[in-house]
Amino acid sequence: MTYRPKNSATALAKEYNVNPSTISTILASKSKLLEMYEKNLVGPEKKRMKLSSYDDVYKAVIYWFDQIQKYNNLTVSGCDIQPQALKFATMLGHRDFKA
């Protein structure tokens, strides 16, 4: 890894051909972006951050999925996940949830 001096937002903007305010916004929300990257909510292949409106349902489905994979070693498809997500949404009181 080579040493790279700290660049200003303007220099970075020129290097990546973006507006300096974009660089400032990214730097200001660095910790949040890193956290989202670790949770696989953002990444190089994703152009937008897609956050769930039903975070509790999302967490329940992820936990269920992890348990299925860990203990049953089953292949799970979207057709298997949708009914489970609807079940969790109902249990958590979300009447307008759509999987």
The per-residue pLDDT for range 53-94, each reduced to its tens digit, is 788 898 899 889 888 888 887 778 888 899 999 999 999 999
Q: Whole-model pTM?
A: 0.50
pLDDT of 1 reads 44
Q: Are 23 and 9 in contact (CB under 8 A)?
A: yes
Which residue ranges make up each domain of the chain? 9-39, 55-92
**Nearest residue to 68 (alpha-carbon basis) of 84, 55, 56, 57:** 84
pLDDT greater than 70 at residue 42: no
pLDDT of residue 3: 44
- The more confident residue out of 14 and 6 is 14
